[in-house]
Amino acid sequence: MRDYRTIITIVVVFVVFIALYWYLSARRTAFDPIKDHSSLRTNRWGTKALRELLADSGLTVKTLKLPLTRLPDSPGVLFVLDPGREVRRRETDALLHWVGAGGWAVIAAEAEPGMMLDYRGGPGPSDILLAHLGLGLVSTQQNKSACNVGLTEEVALRDVVILHVPSAFRLARLPSKEAVGRHLEKIREQKRGEEEHIIPVPEITPVQPAQLLQLAGDEAGAVLVRLDYGQGRIYVLCDADMLGNGFIHQADNVVLAANLAFGRGASATILFDEYHHSGWLVRDDSVYRDKLEGAPIFAALWAIMLCLFLYIVGRMWRFGRPVPLPEPPRRSALEYVDAFAGLHRRAQVGGAAITAQARRLRRKLADISGLPVSSDPELLADAVARRCHRLDSRPLAALLGELSTIDEEQHLSDADTLRLSRQIAAIEEAIEDYATY
């Protein structure tokens, strides 16, 4: 009878999981609780509707899955919508350099992110990114969501009469380092609550654009701001939900989105930043419970509880005498490294290790410069130095020349092997952010 019960239990668990999979597949959109305004999400916070609209309009739409330090050389239109991962200082500098060369950036902030509990004790990524631009989000307790737009020659507001703003937050100017510090400190005090982990407020000096214009707003504050920087522009929206799937159809939000995308012409490439959306999940639905679709989540929880109950019942049955599990031998990685190094030392072929590192380094340099791996060291070094401004072509060419003279069977002293390995590691670290787009 015990065998029959085991078979019945397995069949029931299989049927339950099939039913759960079918149910969640049918309600995939409602089950997605992640609020990150990704252009790949179909829930009401995602911006996939905007992405598909631009693609159907004939624009070239691409996904940026790399840091902002790896933006393409050709200028286009970049959408950075409610970043969920910290935008580092060097990424901000790279973004400003790209905009200065003629690119357009559309940045939409989110004052109450729905997925970043790591930032509940301090300023979030949107707050830090806006602070670098000399802007900040302030709560206005504004009840009305309609923002009237007057007659203007601005490209972004062509044919725009009314904008729908879902939140009560507006943009405020932070002209100095002191103003930025006070604003971020105020955010930290508001978010502190009972949190034990408090994120320190960074010191940020805001960028000084050639011109800062409030394009749209109301008596509560700015809704859309334009920053002119170099040959390009940065448009900042006070609420990323304005471009979300659940709000873009309201008022003239879709017209605004189309104007921002077509502003640089129909031949411009549209980039959606997804690098700062990946890797984050909602881990506490008590904070944003009103923004989640609950029925599928509770169904999944009931299914998990049922499986756990069946697992416990199954573990209560003993199918044989207990057998201890064999423990595999454990070796640390340092033992393998030490053994490999000792093998090269006893064989007196230190050149083999160096030539292997040299081949790897040449492949990386060739990938960055676009030249063949077998190119002349000076030519390869000059091409890489033009892309990687932190490298000097002369030391790099000298190192490549020295590496090219080393044979695999050549005996090198421990000091020379260590010196060359450190130089190669330093160059690889310097070119880490300069991979081909």
User: Tens digit of pLDDT for each residue in 140-180?
Assistant: 876 667 888 877 788 888 888 889 888 888 888 988 888 88
Question: In 222-285, which residue ranges form alpha helices assigned H by DSSP?
Answer: 253-262
Q: Does 272 score more than 90 pLDDT?
A: yes
pLDDT number for residue 116:
40
Residue range(s) in the chain whose domain bears CATH number 3.40.50: 34-292
Cβ(16)–Cβ(303) under 8 Å? yes
pLDDT number for residue 282:
38
pLDDT number for residue 54:
92
Two tokens, residue 71: 């933006």
Q: Which H or E element spans position 228? A: strand 221-229
Q: List the one residue out of 183, 37, 207, 178 whose CA is nearest residue 122.
A: 183
Average pLDDT in the 191-197 region? 56
Residue 34: Cβ within 10 Å count: 18
User: Per mean pLDDT, which of 237-246, 299-308, 329-338, 403-412 is the most reliable?
Assistant: 237-246
Whole-number Å distance between alpha carbons of 286 and 315: 33
**Exposure b/e, 174-194, CB count within 10 A at least 16 = b:** beeeebbbebbeebbeebeee
Residue 397: Cβ within 10 Å count: 19
Whole-number Å distance between alpha carbons of 233 and 211: 10
Q: How confident is the model at residue 1 (pLDDT cuts 50, 70, 90)?
A: very low
Whole-number Å distance between alpha carbons of 389 and 97: 13
Cβ(365)–Cβ(397) under 8 Å? no
CA dihedral 298, 304, 309, 312 (to 10 degrees): -150
Burial (Cβ within 10 Å: 0-12, 13-18, ≥19) of residue 366: middle
Q: Does 290 score more than 70 pLDDT?
A: no
Over pLDDT 70: what percentage of the chain? 76
Residue 93: Cβ within 10 Å count: 14
Q: Which H or E element spans position 64? A: strand 60-64
Identify the CATH assignment for 34-292 out of 2.60.40, 3.40.50, 3.40.30, 3.30.1380. Answer: 3.40.50
Whole-number Å distance between alpha carbons of 98 and 73: 8
Write the single-letter amino acid at 50: L
pLDDT number for residue 236:
94
Average pLDDT in the 290-313 region? 63
Whole-number Å distance between alpha carbons of 184 and 187: 5
Higher-confidence residue: 333 or 385? 385
The mean pLDDT value of the chain amounts to 78
